[in-house]
Structure 1
């Protein structure tokens, strides 16, 4: 913004436009909103995705002298995360905090956050956390993690969604099937102003498959509006 440097030194900072761009998917009219397209995932996957996205931004600007400004992004993403979990389980946001609240051990001491634990027989449990990422400037060199924790298990995601036996559009469990498209570009062909709800949902999740009940599947192929989850 034309600020004059006192010592003529060059510094790295987080651009305001970058923060706004990262906040945009989680905002509507300036207020945090849920990510409806993610409610079909498990709570473990939802928390892992939000944490991975925020950690990526925070690490990218680790050398910035105004890294603390990412606190705005953290607030927006946390509100979006809790609203997404609230929508998934049909509960209120305060109930989400009561269910997942945890004290996280970090390099800078204990910090409050959210945590999801998935127990496993004979093995350590899977743990997904939100929070615990310091926004203080950090100029110490650290090796990159070339093998981060994966969100999805080895079993096919489509198989997992089919085993859930729930329509991803209306929530029905009646004769679920898989709707396929050849390519993501087919979800919004040129000339169409507003894609139908099912196409918008597939495009938002970047998936070429959608698990739907028989009724919704017939509506999709007939070009009729599909039912919405209650």
Structure 2
């Protein structure tokens, strides 16, 4: 095989990365899957043992273990402190994005159903995060956001958060779960970039934009986004009184601020520290 690859295909094997695996007793790892040959003396199609000799793809045990560890502490699912200051919508959306990406990648696996363990860990971690945010309990959070959705495979239990919008716009829906863990032989794998904390914050920015309101004065006139290069620029200590927009960005740990055209112009002109906007901030008009 090595000679064929070298002479016919002009490919060189890396000796340190190349090994021969006994296909029926061992598994080869390729692109995150375990690859091995199935063997079964009981599964028959007519006189033939239809499963024997068929190559199968499987979810590696260590993938489930490592993924679950991200949401656990002391051997139990735990909350994620980095999400506590986000909205319920963003928390559920972040968990679902991470879970959906992994499930869709392993839809070709024979034992994709083994991801039920990971789903339970992530679901419990999500509910604990919501409970910690609201100083409540997991049971109350589960009761509040539990929902049923219809899928081709039948009704599925999930958790969802809805954000109503004005006018005739449909509500925004963030949903965790509801994905059938059933193998799809014709699934097309889309290898996307993993979800990072920065992407979670971007999703939160989308929600803030959809609110269509200035986070400084509450106006909905020509809503825009003000950016800074890095948070360190707005979190400097030991300098003169900081304007309201700087305090907001430092408090929220975000490099973006949704503002109206008037406030945006004031920020760039150095006029965004008026007492009117400070009073709005103190009175709670700006929200959380």
1:20 to 62, 65, 69: 65
Contact 2:86–2:204 under 8 Å retained in 1: no
TM-score (norm 2): 0.52
1:180 to 205, 216, 231: 231
Higher relative contact order (CA 8 A, sep 6+): 1
Measured in 2, the distance between the counterparts of 1:69 and 1:145 equals 20
The residue number in structure 1 matching 2:170 is: 124
Unaligned runs of 5+ in 1: 164-178, 183-208, 214-230
The residue number in structure 2 matching 1:223 is: none
Aligned partner of residue 251 in structure 2, secondary structure: strand
Deviation string 1:58-108 (CA, Å, 9 cap, x unpaired) is: 000000001011011000000000000000111011100111111112221
1:64 maps onto 2:104 in alignment = no
Measured in 2, the distance between the counterparts of 1:33 and 1:49 equals 15
Tell me by how many angstroms 1:8 deviates: 2.1
Measured in 1, the distance between the counterparts of 2:252 and 2:183 equals 47
Alpha-carbon spacing, 1:145–1:128, altered in 2? closer, same or farther (3 Å): farther
Alpha-carbon spacing, 1:212–1:8, altered in 2? closer, same or farther (3 Å): closer
TM-score (norm 1): 0.64
Unaligned runs of 5+ in 2: 1-23, 27-36, 40-51, 193-201, 217-229, 234-248, 254-288
Deviation string 1:117-156 (CA, Å, 9 cap, x unpaired) is: 000001110011111101111113459699xxx7234458
1:211 maps onto 2:251 in alignment = yes
Alpha-carbon spacing, 1:116–1:27, altered in 2? closer, same or farther (3 Å): same
The Cα RMSD (Å) is 2.9
1:80 maps onto 2:103 in alignment = no
For the pair shown, the structure with the greater C-alpha radius of gyration is 2
